[in-house]
Amino acid sequence: MGLNNSQQGVVFLAISNGKIVRQFKEKTEKSVSRVNKVGREVHEEFYDSLTGFLKDITTKESEYGKFWVVKMEAEGKLFQIEFNYSGGYATSFLKALPNVALSTSFTISPKLTIDGDKKKSVLFINQHGAGVKHYFTRDTPNGMPDLNKIKVKGKDTWDDSDRMEFLENYVKDSIIPNIKSQLSDVTEEETPF
């Protein structure tokens, strides 16, 4: 399944406003053009979901902050999707990831809801025709720490630093070894990269 394109190599994606976004240097039939924050015109195509096999998940830091980098393979292509380290997309994805069967493909679908001045972003995972439930929940945290209430400039706010560190360590200790195990079961001839 996946996104359909004929371009070789890694296809870079992001998530914005509840959609998966791919940028192009030139206009395409389906692209929408806009001027970005640094005044450069960009051309973007928007997708509702991405279906494929998880091949890697890491974090990276840049001048724009810390991000999750998720690599998925679909139809012989490698897709790299990035989203903010902390926030609704990351949290919902990571909380459900332990319940994903890594040997089979799954679909990720971002969603953004706006209620007044509040935005809520989530990333749904669907596998075998059903939504994947969260492994880490409030009722069954499985070791995941609660949010911490702290004061920032005199206002109470919720800090997820401990939670995100826990989830990052869980990915490194439990998810990555499973991905590597799956990849080692595939022979050189079967690997499309």
The 10s digit of each residue's pLDDT in 73-110 is 998 999 999 999 999 999 999 999 999 999 999 999 99
Residues 108 and 92: their CA atoms lie apart, in Å, by 11
Query: What is residue 189's predicted lDDT score, i.e. its pLDDT?
Result: 42
94 lies in some domain = yes
Residue 35 CA neighbour count, 13 Å, CB half = 2
pLDDT tens digits along 23-74: 998 999 999 999 888 888 889 999 999 999 999 999 999 888 999 999 999 9
Residue type, 174: S
In a domain, 5, yes or no: no
Q: Is residue 189 part of a domain?
A: no
Q: Is residue 86 part of a domain?
A: yes
In a domain, 193, yes or no: no
pTM, two decimal places:
0.84
The answer to whether residue 162 sits within a structural domain is yes
The residue range of the domain holding 164 is 10-184
CA atoms of 9 and 119, how far apart (whole Å): 34
What is the per-residue pLDDT for 6? 47
Q: Could you give the number of structural domains in the chain?
A: 1
Name the DSSP class of 164: H
Give the pLDDT of residue 5. 47
36 within domain boundaries: yes
**Hey, what are 12's tokens?**
């870079």
What the block records as the tokens of 188 is 């050189």
CA distance 69 to 57: 6
Closest CA to 10 of 52, 60, 65: 52
Residue at 190 is within a domain = no
